[in-house]
Amino acid sequence: MQLAVCPGSFDPLHNGHVEIIARASNLFDEVIVAVSPNMHKNPMFSVEERIAMAQETFSYVRGVSVKPLGSGLLTDFCREVGANALVKGLRDPKDLGYESPMATMNRHLSGLETVFLAADGRYTHLSSTLVKEVHKLGGDVAEFIPRAVQRRLQDRRR
Q: Which residues are catalytic?
A: 17, 41, 91, 128
125 is in an annotated binding site: yes
89 is in an annotated binding site: yes
Query: Which residues neighbour 87 within 8 Å (Cβ) at sequence distance 6 or greater?
Result: 4, 5, 6, 20, 21, 24, 27, 28, 31, 114, 115, 117
74 is in an annotated binding site: yes
132 is in an annotated binding site: no
Length of the chain: 158
Strand partners for 88? 116
114 is in an annotated binding site: no
Q: What is the DSSP letter of 119?
A: P
Cβ-contact 107, 134 below 8 angstroms: no
124 is in an annotated binding site: yes
Strand partners for 32? 5, 65
CA distance 111 to 116: 16
45 is in an annotated binding site: no
Strand partners for 118? 90
36 is in an annotated binding site: no
112 is in an annotated binding site: no
94 is in an annotated binding site: no
Helix axes 147-157, 47-58, angle to 10 degrees: 140
Annotated binding site: 9-10, 17, 41, 74, 88-91, 99, 123-129
- The binding site for substrate consists of 9, 41, 74, 88
Going by the annotation, the residues of the binding site for ATP are: 9-10, 17, 89-91, 99, 123-129
